[in-house]
Amino acid sequence: MVNQQIAQIFYRIADLLEIKGENPFRIRAYRNAARTIESLGRNLQEMVEQGEDLTKLPGIGKDLAGKITEIIETGTLAKLQELEAQVPPGLVELLKVEGLGPKRIKILHDKLGITTLEELKNAAAHGEIHRLPGFGKKLEELIMKGVVLAKKEGRRFRWALAESYVLELLNHLGKAPGLKKAEVAGSFRRKKDTVGDLDILVTASQPHRVIEHFVRFPGVKNIISKGQTRSTLILTSDLQVDLRAVEAESYGSALHYFTGSKAHNIAIRSIAQKAGLKINEYGVFKGDKRIAGREEKDIFSAVGLPFIEPELRENRGEIEAAATAKLPQLITQKDIRGDLHMHTKWSDGKYSIEDMARAALRLGYSYIAITDHSKRMAITKGLDDEKLRQQAEEIERVREEVKGITILKGIEVDILEDGSLDLSDEALSSLDIVIAAVHSKFKLSRTQQTRRIIKALENPYVNILAHPTGRLIGEREGYQVDMEQVMNKALEKGCFLELNAQPARLDLNDVHLKLAKDMGLRVAVSTDSHNTDSLLFMRYGINQARRGWIEPKDVINTQPLDVLLRLLRR
Ligand code: DGT
Ligand code: CA
Ligand code: CA
């Protein structure tokens, strides 16, 4: 039993409970537990077998610990079967459609008998939906778009989730007889924010024995193919995994080929052709003679180029940059000196200011910013001017307690619909750092949304625009906004944009990051942590930054404190 199977059961229960309209806290508890399990890094089955106390895990109480044990012992959960008997199976899928919550899904089901995405699409196309009570034309259009997105996005996995499968798969493959090397290529190796499928490459003394072992991975739903040197599996989550065994002398070229991207490969191949060479997954050939193939770097040198990092291989200028010795020196996690976006118990975080500071100190950071929500975000217990003042006193106390790290006073202040901010200028002026964020009115027109954000940047106390597009990968598209205009304004006003490192956000995206870099606009890579563990999300941000060609100098939180403070003074 792998952790993801257990997490999936919990996610499924949460969805089913949601459709039934049950207690939101219960639903959230299941989702939180599922997230904990996904990112655990240790096998739950082993923990149970060794008699460890699961209730020590964040978000896992007695009840959920019991359910985990039940899943491990029986392979399933009575509660899940009970719920599945009560809810038609297709309905859960409808939750992925933007604009549809459990209540509306119930109406669609009761009035139109809709149980699948396909039926929903047809009903919307035939104009049957806008006539339902509480629906209307606008929502019908939104649903039409949402169905397409739900079908498309449903097939891709967030990188961080893909990684948890990769760890389990590589661990499993490591036990295969005669395995020499195993590595994941494809979009996963390029650190793309989402991954369509996993492409594993192996070398082995007897490849067929590795494949025999591969298909016995515990989380397999379907074995699509199983040959002598390649195999494809579908996991219970519907994630597809391709495995190919290659000869050691072809390993480098196969790794290059299957890392992609396709556009990059095609561009490299055409350079080779001009030099009279042929490149494929078996090697680089001059006539019939293989001149390279064992090492990936030799593929590049065969065409006269230095090694190009996988994150850059999108044919977005990396080949030209390589040819003219202008490749960026990509940022790494070691370059980061602090984290500028995090929440504490003062709003919707789980830990105290001191806990967060100590956790950051353990990561070797020299500064952090405490940035709780402002009052507009009522469900997060957002701060008003007075609470912010009280929090400042606590920060001063903690500064005395925790030495070796600088704690900046900050806020994640809401940008209201008209572009004004949720706290007074007086309150904002007392802070070291102000992050502004859109959390409401996502549906404004592009012009209005752009004007709103630009107005916020014109406030002289704002330093950073948080998660600039508001997207949630696989759940919600960002709002409509003219990012180039926003970036120009930020540059003009001495503000910065955030690269939010939450695996579901990764906002800005890679293309926007490169745009910012080319404009000379710096970014902050921040985790938006709500607990001490997620300070580690920094590495997802770094992955994304590298895809955006970002170097240490392009990031404000790679700078020493004195430089950072200067940058924050507008
Ligand atoms: P994904 O899985 O949609 O997230 O994206 P990739 O990039 O992992 O794509 P995938 O799994 O279809 O193929 C893996 C790599 O194999 C791809 O990045 C480049 C290479 N590849 C696949 N098909 C072709 C092709 O037709 N021509 C070339 N040159 N390369 C290909
Ligand atoms: Ca792939
Ligand atoms: Ca593939």
User: Ligand 2: distance of its center to the CA of 24 in Å?
Assistant: 36
Close Cβ partners of 118 (under 8 Å, ≥ 6 residues apart) = none
pLDDT at 335: 98
Best of 153, 161, 199, 200 for a ligand 1 pocket test (most atoms within 8 Å of beta carbon): 199
**Which band of pLDDT confidence, cut at 50, 70 and 90, is reported for residue 59?**
confident
* Angle of CA points 59, 61, 64, to nearest 5°: 95
Beta bridge partners of 414: 437
Query: What average pLDDT does range 7-33 have in this prediction?
Result: 91
Q: How far, in Å, from the CA of 323 to the mean position of ligand 3?
A: 29
Q: Where are the alpha helices (DSSP H) in 75-174?
A: 78-86, 91-94, 102-112, 117-125, 137-153, 159-173
102 — pLDDT class (breaks 50, 70, 90)? confident
| DSSP single-letter state for residue 567 | H
- What is the structure's pLDDT at 433? 98
**What's the average model confidence in pLDDT over 124-129?**
90
Residue with the smallest CA separation from ligand 1 atom 30 is: 262
> What ligand is nearest to the CA atom of residue 192?
1
Alpha-carbon distance of 399 to 368, in angstroms, equals: 11
Give how far Cα 531 sits from Cα of 13, 254, 350, 500, 522, Å. 24, 41, 5, 15, 26
Atom of ligand 1 nearest to the CA of 195: 4
pLDDT score at 384: 96
Residue 154 has pLDDT above 60, yes or no: no
Question: Model confidence over 544-569: pLDDT tens digits?
Answer: 999 999 999 999 999 999 999 999 99
Q: Nearest 5 degrees, angle CA 205-CA 215-CA 231?
A: 70
Q: How far apart are CA 567 and CA 131, in angstroms?
A: 54
d(CA 166, CA 159): 10
Atom of ligand 1 nearest to the CA of 194: 4
Which residues lie closer than 8 Å to 331 by C-beta, 6 or more apart? 525, 542, 545, 546, 550, 551, 552, 554, 555, 558
Helix/strand number for the chain, H first, E second? 24, 17
> Would you call 447 exposed, middle or buried from its count of C-beta atoms within 10 A (0-12, 13-18, 19+)?
exposed
Phi, psi of 75 (to 5 degrees): 80, -5
Q: In angstroms, rounded to a whole number, what is the distance separating the alpha carbons of residues 211 and 223? A: 11
Neighbours of ion ligand 2 (CB under 5 A): 186-187, 197, 199
Ligand 1 midpoint to CA 260 (Å): 6
3-state secondary structure of 70: helix
Element (H, E) at 414: strand 406-414
Q: At what angle do helices 385-401 and 353-362 cross, to 10 degrees?
A: 50
Helices (H), 250-346: 251-259, 262-274, 296-302, 318-323
CB distance 186 to ligand 1 below 6 Å? yes
pLDDT in tens, 162-194: 999 999 999 999 999 999 999 999 999 999 999
Q: When comparing pLDDT for 234 and 153, which is higher?
A: 234
At what angle are helices 251-259 and 262-274 packed, to 10 degrees?
A: 130
Pocket test for ligand 1, best of 155, 265, 312 (most atoms within 8 A of CB): 265
Higher pLDDT, 516 or 57: 516
- The average pLDDT across 288-316 equals 97
198, 255, 258, 282, best to mutate for ligand 1 pocket (most atoms within 8 Å of CB): 258
Bridge partners (DSSP) listed for residue 299: none
Q: What is the rounded average pLDDT of the residues 287-309?
A: 97
Instruction: Specify whether the CB–CB gap between 402 and 357 falls below 8 A.
Output: yes
**pLDDT beyond 80 at 148:** no
Of residues 265, 263, 259, the one with CA closest to residue 191: 259
- Give the pLDDT score at 152: 58
Distance CA 94, CA 422 (A): 35
Q: What does the angle CA 187 – CA 191 – CA 195 come to, to the nearest 5 degrees?
A: 45
> Which atom belonging to ligand 1 lies closest to the Cα atom of 242?
11
CB distance 253 to ligand 1 below 6 Å: no
Closest Cα to residue 193, out of 434, 553, 502?
502
State yes or no: pLDDT of 475 exceeds 90: no
H/E run at residue 464: strand 464-465
Q: Out of 161, 165, 187, 311, give the residue to mutate to test ligand 1, the one with the largest number of ligand atoms within 8 Å of its CB.
A: 187
pLDDT at 416: 97
437 C-alpha to ligand 1 centroid (Å)? 36
What span, in angstroms and rounded, lies between the C-alpha atoms of 316 and 476?
A: 26
**Among protein residues, the one whose CA lies closest to atom 26 of ligand 1:** 262
pLDDT digits (tens, 9 = 90+) for 442-455: 999 999 999 999 99
Give me 301's structure tokens: 């040198």
Looking at every residue in the chain, the average pLDDT score rounds to 94
Report which residue type is found at 210: V
The structural domains of the chain, ordered by start, are 3-153 (1.10.150.110), 157-245 (3.30.460.10), 250-323 (3.30.210.10), 333-567 (3.20.20.140)
In this structure, are residues 293 and 280 in contact, taking their beta carbons and an 8 Å threshold?
no
Which helix (H) or strand (E) element contains residue 180? strand 179-184
pLDDT score at 400 = 97
Following DSSP, what letter does each residue of 247-259 receive, concatenated?
-GGGHHHHHHHHH
- pLDDT band at 52; cut points 50, 70, 90: very high
Distance between Cα 470 and ligand 2 center (Å): 26
Q: What share of the chain is helix, strand, coil (3-state, %, to 5)?
A: 50, 15, 35
pLDDT at 27 over 80: yes
Task: State the ligand closest to the CA atom of 195.
Answer: 1
Return the residue whose CA atom lies nearest to atom 17 of ligand 1: 260
Please state the atom number of ligand 1 nearest to the C-alpha of residue 257.
20
At 495 the pLDDT is: 98
- Among the residue ranges 70-84, 97-111, 414-428, the one predicted with the least confidence is 97-111
User: Is ligand 1 within 6 A of the CB of residue 265?
Assistant: yes
Flag whether pLDDT at 141 surpasses 90.
no
**Contact (Cβ atoms closer than 8 angstroms) between residue 453 and residue 481:** yes
How large is the average pLDDT for residues 373-380?
A: 90
CA distances 407 to 368, 399, 539, Å, are 5, 7, 21
Q: Indicate if the pLDDT at residue 345 is higher than 80.
A: yes
What does the block give as tokens for 394?
A: 């606590």
The reported pLDDT for the residue numbered 76 is: 87
> How many angstroms separate the alpha carbon of residue 159 from the centre of ligand 3?
15
Ligand 1 neighbour 193 (Cβ under 6 A): no
Looking at the predicted structure, is the pLDDT value of residue 153 above 60?
Answer: no
**Token output for 387:** 């609470």
* Residue 262 CB less than 6 A away from ligand 1: yes
Q: List, in order, residues 6 or more apart from 420 with CB less than 8 Å away.
A: 455, 456, 459
510-519 and 538-547 are packed helices; what angle lies between their axes, rounded to 10 degrees?
A: 70
For a pLDDT cut of 90, what percent of the chain falls above it?
81
- Closest by Cα among 210, 202, 194, 172 to 2: 172
Q: What is the dihedral of CA 345, 347, 353, 358, to 10 degrees?
A: 80
- Comparing C-alpha atoms, which of 136, 515, 537, 174 is closest to residue 317? 515
